Amino acid sequence: MTVFKLAFPRVNYSGVGAIEALTERLIESHGSEKGLLISDPALVSLGFAEKILNSGLNIDLFDDVRPNPDTNTVNQAYSKYVEVGAQFIIGFGGGSSIDTAKAVKILSANEGPIAAFNGIEKVKHAGAPLYAINSTAGTAAEVTSNAVITDTKTHVKHVIISDKIIPDISVNDPSIMLDIPSSVTAATGIDALTHAVESYVSVGAHALTDYVSLEAISAISQNLPLVVDNGKNIEAREKVALGQFIAGLSFNSAGLGMVHAMAHPAGAHKDLPHGVCNAILLPIVCEYNRSHRVEKFAKVAKALGVDTSDMSEEQASEAAISALHELNRRVGIPSGFGQLGVSEEDTLSWVPDALADPCAGGNPYPMPKEDIIDIYRQAL
C-alpha cells in the first residue's frame, strides 16, 4: 500500500452548543492569558462574536477581515496581535477570517512577510495556539493545513500549505449558520462539494479519502438545496456542515486540482467569491478529467443521487457532469464568469497563475496552457 498522511485538528466540536464547549475548554487551559479574536464585521454586527467576547475569556477583537483576505489585512491583524500581547488566537468566520488567523499564527513565530511562506511546508515554527470556529460550511479552513492570502502588490493568491497551521481545535456549530444569505450558502456549499470531488479524483487519493469524499458528496448535495431554500433548517445545516468538515479531512490528505488552481486567480484579480469561482469551473474541469477517472466519476454520480442502476460506467460518469451542472442551477450559481463582468482578456491574464498554483499538481491529468485557456473560455 502506498504511504499516505492524515493531518487534522487534535479536537473537533460539532453540533449546536459547540462554541460554548470551546470557550469552556479555553477558559480552563488559558486562564487569564490574552487572546485575539479575528473575525469579520458581519459576524460581529449579527452578535455572534458576543458568544466569545462575553464568555469570560480575556479577549481582544480584530474584525477588519474582508473577503479574499490580503497581505494588508494580515499585517494589520498581526500588528493588533502584537499590540495587545496576545498568546493565543481564535479565528471566527469563513475561510477569510480563519485564513487570516492562520497567517497571524505563522507570523507569531516566523519572520515575514507572509508571501515568503507561499508553497508547501515552508513554515518552520508552529506559532501561537489557534482555535477555529467555522461559520459558513464551505471552506473547511477550520480543519485544513491551507491558507490563501492575496498579495496586494502582485494580485497573486499565495497558497500556504503546512501542517503547522492546522488549528489546534476546530468548531462547527450550525446555530450560527442559520442567518447566512442563500447566495452565500450556495457558494460556500459548492466550494465544499468541490473539495470532496477534487480530492476523490486527485492523484493523491487513497482508500480512506475515497470513502470520506463520497460521504461528503452525498451529504452536501442532498442537503444544500434544502438550506438554500430554508436557511433555518437546522438539521440540513448540520448535515452540510458535517459534509464540508469531512471533505476538508479528505482534501487535506489527498489534495485538490485544477478547479482550485483556476479559481484562485479569478478571486485574486477580480475579487470574486471563491465558492462561486469553484462552482462555475467544477463541472467543466470535471468533464475534462472524466475520461481519466471514468470509474470514479460513475461513483460520483451515485453519490450525487443519480440512479445509475441501468447505466454503463461511461454513461454514469457523464451523468455526474450533468448532475453537477443541475445542482449549480438549482442553488442559483451564475452560469459563467461573463455574468460577473469577466472578459476573455481577463481570463487570459489568469493562465500563468493557474499553471503555477500548488493545487495544479493534484489534477488527475496534467492540464497544458492551451487547455486552461479553452476551459476559461467555456466558463465565460
137, 154, 176: which is the final residue of a domain? 176
Q: Is residue 6 part of a domain?
A: no
159, 176, 193: which is the final residue of a domain? 176
DSSP state of 250: H
CA 284 from chain center: how many Å? Answer: 19
Q: Is residue 323 part of a domain?
A: yes
In this prediction the pTM is 0.92
Same domain, 93 and 215: no
Q: Mark out the alpha helices in the chain (DSSP H runs).
A: 18-30, 41-45, 50-53, 71-84, 95-107, 182-201, 207-229, 234-254, 258-270, 274-290, 294-303, 313-331, 344-356, 369-378
Q: How many Cβ atoms are within 10 Å of 70's Cβ, its own excluded?
A: 23
Same domain, 158 and 194: no
Same domain, 150 and 241: no
Q: Is residue 40 part of a domain?
A: yes
Same domain, 196 and 344: yes
Q: Is residue 3 part of a domain?
A: no
Distance from C-alpha of 278 to C-alpha of 63, rounded to nearest angstrom? 26
Q: Is residue 348 part of a domain?
A: yes
Q: Is residue 365 part of a domain?
A: yes
Half-sphere exposure of 349 (CA within 13 A, CB side): 13
Q: Is residue 2 part of a domain?
A: no
152, 176, 200: which is the final residue of a domain? 176
Same domain, 171 and 312: no
Domain that holds residue 138: 11-176
Beta-carbon contacts of residue 345 (< 8 Å; ≥ 6 apart) = none
Q: What is the pLDDT along the chain (380 residues), one digit of tens a residue?
A: 577 777 889 999 999 999 999 999 999 999 989 999 999 998 898 888 888 999 999 999 999 998 889 999 999 999 999 999 999 999 999 999 999 999 999 999 999 999 999 999 999 999 999 999 999 888 899 999 999 999 999 988 899 999 999 999 999 999 889 988 999 999 999 999 999 999 999 999 999 999 999 999 999 999 999 999 999 999 999 999 999 999 999 999 999 999 999 999 999 999 999 999 999 999 999 999 999 999 999 999 999 999 999 999 999 999 999 999 999 999 999 999 999 999 999 999 999 999 999 999 999 999 999 999 999 999 99
Specify which residues 37 forms β-bridges with: 61, 90
Q: Look-up: residue for cell 469552556?
A: 24
| CATH code for position 40 | 3.40.50.1970
Distance from C-alpha of 240 to C-alpha of 113, rounded to nearest angstrom? 36
